[in-house]
Chain A
Amino acid sequence: QLQLQESGSGLVKPSQTLSLTCAVSGGSLSSGGYSWSWIRQPPGKGLEWIGNIYHSGTTNYNSSLKSRVTISVDKSKNQFSLKLSSVTAADTAVYYCARDSPGIPFDIWGQGTMVTVSS
């Protein structure tokens, strides 16, 4: 059964870059038809889609974050990553990785990882 697991720094200083990785187990990230997304949820607030990537490397980003976001894939390690630059306190959130396919979106989620932006 496919599983996703986020990892990365839980505390990031303002103006620095947030870096997270999502490890895919129980299946291949290169399986056709799927894309791999990052979604975040600030404390006590709703969900926000950050962007996604296909195994080919094609990416799509939330227009409100596009200037600061980079999502990449490492097929050899079966994982994909998120980098968010110039972070502020507003970027404090639980960050989730998730799988989606046409017609059946976000069907598998990681458990989420809390990232706090603070000096």
Chain B
Amino acid sequence: QSVLAQPPSVSGAPGQRVTISCTGSSSNIGADYDVHWYQQLPGTAPKLLIFGNTNRPSGVPDRFSGSKSGTSASLAITGLQAEDEADYYCQSYDSSLTGFVFGSGTQVTVL
């Protein structure tokens, strides 16, 4: 069972906005550790999508945005495109486990 909880799946029509939640606790997100997000296309390695809660690496479209509040974080995808169909994972650090932790993953489907 993952330390960071995500919904198993979300879906939306092309052009719509979808959000993915990442719920943690006082030993990870709530302890002010940064949250990062990864996109994993089928059969490929994960790719860094958002780092430091809100920052996009070079080359990541501004349709992707991240936020954090309290013990939770969210990833928003606006203007959903077919190419956004993938699994998305949040990630942070946990002080109780003294290590990096990942969310359970969310599959995004474009209807």
Contact = CB atoms under 8 A, between A and B. Distances in A.
A47 interface: yes
A63 interface: yes
A62 B100 CA distance: 8
Nearest to A47: B102
Interface stretch (B24-32, B42-50, B65-73): B42-50
A103 B34 contact: yes
Interface residues of A, number: 21
A107 B98 CA distance: 21
Contact of A104 (B44, B45, B52, B101): B52
Contacts of B2: 46
Nearest to B36: A105
Interface SS of chain A:
strand
A106 B34 contact: no
A74 interface: no
Contacts of A62: 97, 99
Interface residues of B, number: 23
B24 to A, nearest CB: 15
Q: Which of B36, B100, B103 has its CB near the most chain A CB atoms (within 10 A)? A: B100
Nearest to B101: A49
Interface of A: 37, 46-49, 51-52, 60-63, 96, 103-107, 109-112
19 contacts: A47-B46, A47-B89, A47-B102, A49-B101, A49-B102, A60-B98, A62-B97, A63-B98, A63-B99, A104-B48, A104-B52, A105-B36, A105-B51, A106-B36, A106-B91, A109-B46, A111-B44, A111-B45, A112-B45
Interface of B: 2, 34, 36, 38, 44-48, 51-52, 57, 89, 91, 97-105
Given A46-B105, A51-B99, 17 more contacts: A37-B100, A46-B103, A47-B46, A47-B89, A47-B91, A61-B99, A63-B99, A103-B52, A104-B48, A105-B48, A105-B51, A105-B91, A105-B100, A109-B45, A111-B44, A111-B45, A112-B45
